[in-house]
Amino acid sequence: MALLNFKEILELIDKVADKGLGAVEIESSGFKLRVEGKANEPVVAAYVHDNLQQATIAPRGVVQAAPVSGGSLPAAPPAEADDAGLHIVTSPIVGTFYKAPNPESAPFVNVGDRVTKGQVVCIIEAMKLMNEIESDIDGVVASVYPQNGQPVEYGEKLFAVRIS
């Protein structure tokens, strides 16, 4: 299968949007193309492993490319504050969120608690390993987003901390 040209990719985006499909994925000879149709504005991510490049095509045909080391996905963007004075602590891994070291213990932190940089705020279990997640800032916990025992994704919001 030959690589798709830009015009063919744009036509595929339009077809996914018109048909209301969730996603279409094509993979051949080190080329992987996935078109996701969300909210009538599909986004395309194309990974060409031979060239170690990632190209993202936005709905209006804007193309952005970035090098990808070892064929892996680029790092997530840094956490941003939702409101002035709030810092969002995000999950560095995919796993299961736990508020306490064990079911009988009190949570590491609650809303209103003061935290310091490096303080353990939760555990994320991944592949039977318990990973302690530390606060990356000093402040007061304003929100805890996931529920205890809930699966979390890489980059998902865990806590909002009011900077002090």
pLDDT surpassing 60 at residue 149: yes
Query: For the chain, what are the domain ranges?
Result: 6-71, 86-163
CB distance 79 to 109 below 8 Å: no
Residue in this structure with the two tokens 């609650």, named with its chain if needed: 110
Q: What's the pLDDT tens digit per position in 18-72?
A: 777 777 777 766 667 777 765 444 444 444 444 444 444 444 444 444 444 444 4
Q: What is the dihedral of CA 54, 14, 24, 73, to 10 degrees?
A: 20
Q: What is the DSSP string of 94-125?
A: SEEEESSSSTTSPPS--TT-EE-TT-EEEEEE
CATH number for the segment(s) 86-163: 2.40.50.100
| 77-111 b/e (C-beta count within 10 Å ≥ 16 → b) | eebeeeeeebbbbbbbeebebbbeeeeeeeebbee
From 15-24, 46-55, 105-114, 148-157, the region with the lowest mean pLDDT: 46-55
pTM above threshold 0.85: no
CA–CA dist 67, 88 (Å, integer): 27
CB distance 13 to 21 below 8 Å: no
What is the sign of the dihedral through the CA atoms of 109, 111, 113 and 119?
positive
